[in-house]
Each structure stands twice: as C-alpha cells, then as structure tokens.
Amino acid sequence: MKLVFATHNQNKVKEVQLLMPKNITLLSLNDIDCFDEIAETANTLKGNAQLKADFVTEKYGYNCFADDTGLLVDSLNGEPGVFSARYAGEEKSTEANMAKLLKNLETKDNRVARFKTCIALNIDAKKYKFEGEVEGIITKEKYGIDGFGYDPIFRPNGFDKTFAELPIEIKNKISHRGRAIQKLIKHLNLS
C-alpha cells in the first residue's frame, strides 16, 4: 500500500519510516511532486493536521496522513502550542524558537511540558484521527545533536537525556509522534 505523509520535513519522514511495516510504502510530499507550502490556519493541532491531509487528498488523490505537533509548556499557559514551528516568527527557525522559549522560561521554576501530536488520516474516502503525547521538562540549555525541533531542550519523564541525546529507536518508542504513529499503524493493520 502507498501512503503519503504530508510533510516536507525529511527528519519526520526518517523517523516515521522506521516505524512503518514493510507492506506500506511511505511517500513524502516531495515524492509526489508537491512543493506547495500548505497553510496551517486552524487554531488546533487536529485542525492543522486535517487541513494538510485534505489538501493532499483533494489535489493529488492519494491516501494520506498528516501530523501537527505542539509543545505545550505549563508555566507559559500552553505556549508555544499550535504555534510551535513558528514561535519566533514565520521563518520557522528552530534555533530562534528554542532561544525564545528558553528566554521566556528564565524566571520560571516550573519547566513541565508535553509534546502532543495529532494525526489526520484520509484513506479510502474516510477520515480518522490519532493522538500521542509525552510529558517531560524543558532543560535550561541544549543537550545533544540528534533529532530536530525542540528535541535538544526536551527531557522526557523517566530519562536523564533529551530527545536529541536518545537513540532514535528509543525516541520512537516513547515520543508523542511515535505513539500517534503506532495507533495509526494498528488501525491500518485492522482495516
């Protein structure tokens, strides 16, 4: 089965490909010659995931899934949340996003945060939703060189390393995206 993952982010594609069963051929937006920047104008993670999945299904006709992920920090009232990718501006700079978050947390004792991923699946003219979440803390500085996004400053509960320090096999088992993808895979195997 061919399934499009509605993303241009090759780091996400690599992570998800490692989780997919061999009978699913995962295609990225680049693979289907979709180079559009799909607008994320919804005010929820679920809404943005659905916008991206619908865009690909309607314009290209593929079975497709899309995700949207947010980092929600308790002491910042859930910021950056739905704006996680563009927290420091529309240029979506990972370094600027992390710097802004660390600056906003400088005077905060509570550094509890959680990553949440929402996946929208459009398959055979039906729509499904899956979610995954992981709790942890925001560190005071960056650790590790792997991963992407906020990984160098997010330490999941029960671990002494950030996502950027953990091997991808471990990250995939415990991460928000990994948990949501596992639910997606379970659904695909049942349908």
Residues classed as catalytic: 68
Let me know: does 171 contact 136? Beta carbons within 8 Å.
Answer: no
Give the whole-angstrom CA distance, residue 39 versus residue 120: 15
Residues contacting 100, CB < 8 A, separation 6+: 87, 88
Residue 174 — left, alpha, or beta (φ > 0 → left; ψ -120 to 50 → alpha)? alpha
Give the whole-angstrom CA distance, residue 38 versus residue 78: 24
